[in-house]
Amino acid sequence: MEKLTIEPTANSPLIVLDPEMKNFEFSGESRPENVRKFYLPVLEWLEAYTASQESLQDDQRTSGLQCLFNFEYFNSTSAKYILDIFKSLNALHLLGLDLKIKWLYEEDDEDMLEVGQEMSRMSKLTFEYIIS
């Protein structure tokens, strides 16, 4: 699969999905004008990646995939799509891929920590919480 990179703007995050480097990254602010239009290519990429992993033998699948979530802020509409991303990652986890999900938050930003904990619970994925 080819790497997907979406450059950040003042209202949309940096997104890097790089299977070769085993690195997925989401960082910045997320409140794009059209949230659906912004996240649809990301969800489609993840769906195609899951299908490509599904077609491989168990021992050929990617291991040690680092998924870094370093959001400064995201609005409530983005939250729905971010949860969809975690649901897609859960599909990869269920295929047996070893995912390392890191949720970054600023030291006193309890709201961002709490949202991460809720996302982890709802997506049934284990997060590592890191003070940025």
Instruction: Give me the residues that bind other proteins (CB under 8 A), please.
Output: 10-11, 31, 33-36, 73, 75-77, 79-81, 83, 106, 108-112, 118, 122
Taking the least distance from each CB to other proteins, the nearer of 65 and 104 is: 104
Give the DSSP H/E element, type plus range, for residue 96: none
Q: How far is the CB of 2 from other proteins (least distance, A)?
A: 27
Taking the least distance from each CB to other proteins, the nearer of 53 and 69 is: 69
Taking the least distance from each CB to other proteins, the nearer of 1 and 115 is: 115
Of residues 17, 41, 28, 42, the one with CA closest to residue 99: 17
Amino acid code (one letter) for 88:
S
Interior angle at CA 129, CA 95 and CA 31, nearest 5: 85
β partners of residue 17: 4, 24
Amino acid code (one letter) for 129:
Y
Q: How far is the CB of 118 from other proteins (least distance, A)?
A: 7
Give the separation between CA 87 and CA 72, rounded to whole angstroms. Answer: 21
Give the separation between CA 3 and CA 132, rounded to whole angstroms. Answer: 25
Taking the least distance from each CB to other proteins, the nearer of 62 and 78 is: 78
